[in-house]
Amino acid sequence: MAYLTDRKRAAGLGSAKSGTQHHWHMVISSVALVGLIPCFIFTFGSIYGAPYEDVLAYYQRPLPAIVALLTFAVGFVHFRGGVQTLIEDYVHGTAKKVAIIAMICLSYTAAAAGVFAVAGLAL
Amino acid sequence: MADVNRGNRPLSPHLTIYRPQWTSMTSIFTRITGNALFVTALLIVWWFVAAATGPDAFATADGFITSWFGDLIMFFSVAGIWYHTLAGIRHLIWDSGRMLDVDKSETFGQAMVLIAVLLTIFTVIVL
């Protein structure tokens, strides 16, 4: 201990430790979503409320299906990153780890279900 | 030196002593909208899975989402997602080192709320 300077003893003891990569992934997915979300709002919005047969026909077209598929894939990855930050801010200890793992599982399950459903409708 | 008085130090003032400001309020609403949109996302995934399953399942999911309560959720979702999208664009601009002055940030926040409201009205009218 006595051989370390105060600067050395303090280094790495901040609250963050890491996070650059997390931030960069949020930046990448948010840039993608800036394009995807308006496309999804106007494709999904124009068919939501329509009869079953119209919905099937609509999502057999490539553009609405690809937009929905990418929105699910990128959107839930973005959500996974965002909700992890939320949990890290308000939940601590073991509960934090449990909550983060549960939310990651839920995000990827929802993404998989969405992608699977779009594929089923389109093909 | 660093070990002295650990755990018994005065804390700096936190959220409770500040009156609401445009910068803090627009920030917390970014977090609230982003996380609340998970409900919308799950509803939409349910709608898609139901459509892929068959007409009966679709009727159940579509019946809920197009009910008055579903419409209410969808209305707030449209407002929330426009707001969150604009807030995300604001973060991308901040990350580039621009618009970081307090007055610019406040103006930007007010503009963001206004544009989100206009986009929500536009979306509801068009769709």
Question: A19-122 has which fold?
Answer: 3 helical TM bundles of succinate and fumarate reductases (1.20.1300)
CB contact under 8 Å between B44 and A30, yes or no, is no
A20 touches chain B (CB under 8 A): no
> With 80 as the cut, is the pLDDT of residue A115 above it?
yes
Angle at A78 between CA A74 and CA A81, to 5 degrees: 145
- Fill in the amino acid letter for B108: F
CB contact under 8 Å between B51 and A86, yes or no, is no
Q: What is the pTM of this model?
A: 0.87
> Are the CB atoms for A118 and A59 separated by under 8 Å?
yes
Q: What's the CATH number where B116 sits? A: 1.20.1300.10
**Helix, strand, or coil here: A71?**
helix
Domain count, chain B: 1
Give B19 to chain A, closest Cα distance, Å. 22
pLDDT in tens, A50-106: 999 999 999 999 999 999 999 999 999 999 999 999 999 999 999 999 999 999 999
Domain assignment of residue B54, given as a range: 22-126
* CB–CB contacts below 8 A, A to B: 86
Mutation target to probe the B interface, by most B beta carbons within 10 A, among A22, A52, A90 is: A52
Q: For chain B, first and last CA: distance in Å? A: 64
What is the pLDDT confidence band of residue A19, given thresholds at 50, 70 and 90? confident
Sequence spans of domains, chain A: 19-122
ipTM of this complex prediction, to 2 decimal places: 0.87
